[in-house]
Chains A and B, each alone.
Chain A
Amino acid sequence: MNRKSFDFDIITLSLFLGLLLLGWMTIYAVSSAGDHTSLLDMSVTHGKQAMWIGLALVFAMIILSLDYQFIEAISYIAYGVSIALLIVVLVAGREINGAKSWLVFGGVQFQPSEFAKLATALALSRYMSRLNFSMNNLRQLTIAGMMVIVPALIVIFQNDTGSALVFASFMLVFFREGLNPLVPIILLLTGIVAVVTLGFGKLLVIAACIAGVGVVSFLYFYNQRQWFRLLMVHVLAVGFLILLSVSVNTLVSKLQEHQQLRIKVLFDPNADPQGAGYNVIQSKIAIGSGGISGKGYLEGNYTKYKFVPKQVTDFIYCTIGEEYGWIGSSAVVILFFLLIWRIRFLAENSKTRFARIYGYSVLSIIFFHVMVNIGMTIGLMPVIGIPLPFFSYGGSSLLAFTALIFIMVNLYSYRISVLGSKI
């Protein structure tokens, strides 16, 4: 290895460690309520998480010591292994909280879908960094798409919709690499229409779609004076949207009742205050009660006394909101943004296409997790059970995010060694 030791991006490392520390402190605040066990007691949540953090740091060291070419070389193998593991889970996995997505080795539970994200990011980066790869080549685009869709589908079969949805974040990578913007826009619209249809009913949504498309296409084409094209696009778009909302509506009506409710409570948490709405009502109360500067560390009695369900895993952000207030919870959002911003910087300034595509994959996955998780706790997103990176309790997700970031740090350090200076 031809580089100076510890020539890694300090900013990314600091942000990573900062988030990790904050995350563990928050888990401690929740799980230490009422008893006075030692900090590293392995029988309690915060003790176990400390163990996972230690393991993650060791894991990070190992990754940093790898040669970047080795990483690129094992991408497909990792992908193949992760697909195999996902299938094994499907057959021999253990069901926890309704999702059959866990493997159990000895006493350790392990969630292969977390690693599938990483493997997919690596494999996709390798495939898309081929010299002859082009987003306009339908065959190549299809292969790239399938690389994302296949693991996502298997995860859906594991009944872990949340983790499967994370694969949608690769859309950002495709967009960055030249995908026609209409594709993500249409997909985004489909999602919005599906959600809004459940909330407000079919007719209203169709009317809103027609009006929306009208305004947008008018603004877009007006100056070009292409009246015929304007009309055609409009008719097509409206027809498409009507078709979309009708089909979405039928699809949605086939959704399981609890899934429908999760979307409905997004608009009115009181639609199901004892069930799906309960989480949202309680988490908003917990966060809202934090005020500007919060109740103080370890003083978050609303989350401590278990008024918010899943408060160390999916709803860990409630404790941040309650104990650190608006200042603290905004700071956490900003920290995530800084991390994403820095990874994007690393990606754009990498010497290889592989590193850039991989960097965008990492930031997209992190962004998707943060958006869905925090959005869910403040009632802006449906209740989808995916972890908040570095905060939610759980070894698989922590190790996966650590690997995601440190591979990026490793790839970028290659540039440092080539150019001989940091940027």
Chain B
Amino acid sequence: MDNLKVRGNIIIAGIALVFLIFIWRLFTIQVVSNEYAQKALNYVIKTKSIIPPRGNIYNRYSEIYVSNRPTFNLMITPNELVIPDTSVLIDLLGLTQVEIDDIIKKASEYSLLKESVFARYVDPETYGKLQERLWNFGGFSFTASTTRYYRYPVGGNILGYISEVDAREIENSEGKYISGDLIGKSGIERAHDSTLRGIQGKQKILKDVHNREVGSFANGKQDKPAIKGREVMLGIDTDLQALGEELMRNKKGSIVAIEPATGEILAFISAPSYDPSTLTGSELQKNWRILQLDTLNPLFNRPLMAEYPPGSIFKLPVALAALNEGIITPDTYYGCGGGFKRNHGKPGCRLHISPLSLENAIKYSCNSYFAATYMDFLNNTTEYKDIYEAYNTWYRYMDLMGVGRKLNVDLPYEKDGNLPSTNLYDNERVFYGKNRWSATHVISNAIGQGEILMTPLQMANMVAMIAGRGKYFPPHFVKATKDVNDSHWNRVPYDTIRTGIRFEHFAVVVDAMEKVVDGGTAGRAYIPGIAVCGKTGTVQNPHGENHAVFVGFAPKENPVIAIAVVIENAGGGGSWAAPTASIMIEKYIRREIKDKTFEYQRILDANFLR
């Protein structure tokens, strides 16, 4: 039997061996390998991103212009649904029974266990009522979100709008955007999205095998709070913006006002305009489509995107370039007999005194004078070796003054305008070919009627440059930003741009611009007590009535506002554009309309839409 007792030992040894193998195996998967621990964390912990509130937007007087308003999304978890009474949902959410059934069906198809949106953009008031009445419902919950709230219902074209990111944007963002994130789709919201959006927070949440959240991980010690987006201050004067939009009622066109000393944009009207709050909340898609289909195209941001031949206002930079190059002096006189004689009477001109000085040429907007100046500029063989050198010199001046080129304003979709280069005229297919054009071919550039195109923003920038006597800043909307808890604003720095044109030449042009308002073509822009300087223009419109243009600034010394007004199909600049600009100027300088009440009523009553 001893032999058999040994077998008992063998059995125990075998069992011990098996258990030792287990302990060794446990050692390898629990202690040696890190893989399982890591996998467990990955499965159990869901990192949830917290979408931070967007930064507020302020007007130039530090008053809140755009803020956030809480909205709520009503969520459902299909397999937990208990609906004792659908009429609550029908009454409070304005849904029909069919719609409710449809939403529930779609949610169930997506997932029975996960939440789906039942209704978006529930306002706080309805949210309160729903909370009261859903007490005996099952499977309903709310998630908080925000929507934009506009203190001033103006400047839709400036602010743009926000909406939830779409699938393509999430994919292209390399993790920057997550589902449910809000993104600026146009305007300031888009251009400054990265500033306004804030920094996503991270929250680690424990989940169970069905992906249901069951608690926070490590008591939230590893969580990172969301950081609110930065507050952004615009240079916009919301009152002025509102006045501008009011004045432009029943008109198509633009008003752009700039503070010459800083380049801050004070007002930026695109007419017809729309209330920015139409593009928020549940009506966004619907309203956007309505605006999109509107024949007057309110979504077309005219100050930025509409390109016009500038017309007579272009005589100002032409004069400045010619003065600085010594082509003309303030005492240079040219004759005018109703047209430019040296080019067979083209361009034509109106009846006025002749011959005339530069000052009078500006005052009466004499086409012949500037055609002659331009021709003498391009044909000056003592200064330049050929017309190319002369033209390029002129081109450089225009470019320096911000004419016909992108100004890189902080708003998306800015158009270039057009400043034709010699290459354009050298192109045989489109124009003349190399060495096959002369000053007479391009003479209409002198009076802003040739190939030159400018946006209203460029027009305003040009007159701001004159107001600053050759010194200007890139026009911009955002003047400062700050964190929500900061007490001080951090100014956004912008580099000064200097044209290099001598100060005394501006004195001549500015004096003439004062005369334009005081007895010249822009008499309707006159404001008693405020020295307004300006220049009218008329944009030839082959499709109908001409477009009225006025650029100006005030006061003459230490100007605080430079403005460009374009009213489509309103005829000459003097009758409609000039008085509109002067109402804006008075409002901005005096904070009220005192002397321009008659013009104010007249402009409001005018309708240039057919």
B206 engages A301 (CB within 8 Å): yes
A177 engages B30 (CB within 8 Å): no
User: Chain B residues near A292 (CB, 8 Å)?
Assistant: 30-31
Least Cβ distance of B521 to chain A in Å?
Answer: 80
Q: Which one of B14-22, B167-175, B578-586 contacts A?
A: B14-22
- In the assembled complex, the Cα of A175 lies from the Cα of B6 at a distance in Å of 11
B15 engages A367 (CB within 8 Å): yes
From known contacts A301-B206, A307-B209, A337-B15, infer whether A329 and B26 are also in contact, taking CB-CB under 8 Å: yes
Q: Does B485 contact A (CB under 8 A)?
A: no
Number of interface residues of B (CB under 8 A): 34
Q: Does B429 contact A (CB under 8 A)?
A: no
Closest to B11 in A: A172
Least Cβ distance of A192 to chain B in Å?
Answer: 14
Q: Does B295 contact A (CB under 8 A)?
A: no
B29 engages A378 (CB within 8 Å): yes
Can you list, as one digit per residue, whether each of A369-380 has a CB less than 8 Å from chain B (1) or not (0)? 001001100111
Can you list, as one digit per residue, whether each of B16-44 has a CB less than 8 Å from chain A (1) or not (0)? 10110111011101110101110111011
Q: Does A348 contact B (CB under 8 A)?
A: yes
Can you list, as one digit per residue, whether each of B552-589 has a CB less than 8 Å from chain A (1) or not (0)? 00000000000000000000000000000000000000
Q: Does A8 contact B (CB under 8 A)?
A: no
From known contacts A307-B209, A348-B8, infer whether A285 and B26 are also in contact, taking CB-CB under 8 Å: no
> Which of B4, B23, B44 is close to A177, meaning CB atoms less than 8 Å apart?
B4
From known contacts A305-B206, A305-B209, A333-B19, infer whether A288 and B8 are also in contact, taking CB-CB under 8 Å: no
- In the assembled complex, the Cα of A329 lies from the Cα of B36 at a distance in Å of 16
A287 engages B30 (CB within 8 Å): yes
User: Chain B residues near A363 (CB, 8 Å)?
Assistant: 15
Q: Does B502 contact A (CB under 8 A)?
A: no
Q: Does A336 contact B (CB under 8 A)?
A: yes
B15 engages A380 (CB within 8 Å): no
B22 engages A375 (CB within 8 Å): yes
Q: Does A389 contact B (CB under 8 A)?
A: no
Q: Does A365 contact B (CB under 8 A)?
A: no
B31 engages A378 (CB within 8 Å): no
> Which of B5, B12, B37 is close to A291, meaning CB atoms less than 8 Å apart?
B37
B209 engages A284 (CB within 8 Å): no
- In the assembled complex, the Cα of A371 lies from the Cα of B25 at a distance in Å of 13
B40 engages A34 (CB within 8 Å): no
- In the assembled complex, the Cα of A291 lies from the Cα of B35 at a distance in Å of 11
Q: Does B214 contact A (CB under 8 A)?
A: yes
Q: Does A341 contact B (CB under 8 A)?
A: yes
Closest to B212 in A: A305
B30 engages A344 (CB within 8 Å): no
From known contacts A336-B19, A341-B12, A371-B18, infer whether A326 and B27 are also in contact, taking CB-CB under 8 Å: yes
- In the assembled complex, the Cα of A310 lies from the Cα of B12 at a distance in Å of 31
B44 engages A291 (CB within 8 Å): no
Least Cβ distance of B325 to chain A in Å?
Answer: 80
- Chain A CB within 10 Å, residue with most, of B4, B25, B36, B37: B36
User: Chain A residues near B19 (CB, 8 Å)?
Assistant: 333-334, 336-337
B23 engages A287 (CB within 8 Å): no
B8 engages A285 (CB within 8 Å): no
- In the assembled complex, the Cα of A353 lies from the Cα of B42 at a distance in Å of 56
From known contacts A289-B40, A305-B44, A307-B209, infer whether A321 and B11 are also in contact, taking CB-CB under 8 Å: no
A287 engages B206 (CB within 8 Å): no
B40 engages A326 (CB within 8 Å): no
User: Chain B residues near A347 (CB, 8 Å)?
Assistant: 8
Least Cβ distance of A124 to chain B in Å?
Answer: 16
From known contacts A305-B207, A334-B19, infer whether A348 and B39 are also in contact, taking CB-CB under 8 Å: no
- In the assembled complex, the Cα of A334 lies from the Cα of B37 at a distance in Å of 24
Q: Does B428 contact A (CB under 8 A)?
A: no
- In the assembled complex, the Cα of A344 lies from the Cα of B37 at a distance in Å of 38
A285 engages B39 (CB within 8 Å): yes
From known contacts A178-B4, A306-B208, infer whether A378 and B44 are also in contact, taking CB-CB under 8 Å: no
User: Chain B residues near A34 (CB, 8 Å)?
Assistant: 214
Least Cβ distance of B525 to chain A in Å?
Answer: 74
- In the assembled complex, the Cα of A256 lies from the Cα of B16 at a distance in Å of 34
Can you list, as one digit per residue, whether each of B378-409 has a CB less than 8 Å from chain A (1) or not (0)? 00000000000000000000000000000000
> Which of A288, A301, A374, A375 is close to B44, meaning CB atoms less than 8 Å apart?
A301
Closest to B210 in A: A306
User: Chain B residues near A238 (CB, 8 Å)?
Assistant: none
Closest to B41 in A: A289
Closest to A322 in B: B40
> Which of A176, A301, A340 is close to B4, meaning CB atoms less than 8 Å apart?
A176
Q: Does A247 contact B (CB under 8 A)?
A: no
Q: Does B151 contact A (CB under 8 A)?
A: no
> Which of A177, A288, A301 is close to B29, meaning CB atoms less than 8 Å apart?
A288
B22 engages A326 (CB within 8 Å): no
Q: Does A354 contact B (CB under 8 A)?
A: no
Least Cβ distance of A317 to chain B in Å?
Answer: 10
A330 engages B40 (CB within 8 Å): no
User: Chain A residues near B39 (CB, 8 Å)?
Assistant: 285, 288-289
Can you list, as one digit per residue, whether each of A269-292 has a CB less than 8 Å from chain B (1) or not (0)? 000000000000000111111111
- In the assembled complex, the Cα of A307 lies from the Cα of B210 at a distance in Å of 9
> Which of A176, A326, A330 is close to B11, meaning CB atoms less than 8 Å apart?
A176
Q: Does B7 contact A (CB under 8 A)?
A: yes
From known contacts A305-B44, A307-B43, infer whether A378 and B22 are also in contact, taking CB-CB under 8 Å: yes
B44-96: which have CB < 8 Å to A? 44
Least Cβ distance of B23 to chain A in Å?
Answer: 5
From known contacts A176-B8, A341-B12, infer whether A374 and B43 are also in contact, taking CB-CB under 8 Å: no
Least Cβ distance of A420 to chain B in Å?
Answer: 24
B30 engages A325 (CB within 8 Å): yes
> Which of B5, B11, B23 is close to A333, meaning CB atoms less than 8 Å apart?
B23
Q: Does A302 contact B (CB under 8 A)?
A: yes
User: Chain A residues near B44 (CB, 8 Å)?
Assistant: 301-302, 305, 307
B4 engages A287 (CB within 8 Å): no
> Which of A289, A340, A374 is close to B15, meaning CB atoms less than 8 Å apart?
A340
- Chain B CB within 10 Å, residue with most, of A301, A326, A329, A344: A301
- Chain B CB within 10 Å, residue with most, of A287, A288, A292, A302: A288
A348 engages B15 (CB within 8 Å): no
User: Chain A residues near B21 (CB, 8 Å)?
Assistant: 380
- Chain A CB within 10 Å, residue with most, of B5, B11, B30, B207: B30
A175 engages B23 (CB within 8 Å): no
User: Chain A residues near B210 (CB, 8 Å)?
Assistant: 306
- In the assembled complex, the Cα of A177 lies from the Cα of B597 at a distance in Å of 121
- Chain B CB within 10 Å, residue with most, of A177, A287, A379: A287
- In the assembled complex, the Cα of A73 lies from the Cα of B317 at a distance in Å of 124
A326 engages B26 (CB within 8 Å): yes
Least Cβ distance of B155 to chain A in Å?
Answer: 50
User: Chain A residues near B12 (CB, 8 Å)?
Assistant: 340-341, 344
| 10 pairs, A vs B, C-beta closer than 8 Å | A176-B11, A288-B37, A302-B44, A326-B31, A329-B26, A337-B15, A344-B8, A347-B8, A375-B22, A380-B25
The 10 tightest CB contacts between A and B, nearest first, are A288-B36, A289-B40, A305-B208, A288-B29, A326-B30, A289-B37, A306-B209, A330-B23, A302-B40, A307-B209
User: Other than the known A289-B41, A336-B19, what 15 A-B pairs have Cβ atoms closer than 8 Å?
Assistant: A172-B11, A178-B4, A178-B7, A287-B26, A288-B33, A289-B39, A301-B206, A307-B44, A326-B26, A326-B30, A326-B31, A329-B26, A333-B19, A374-B22, A378-B22
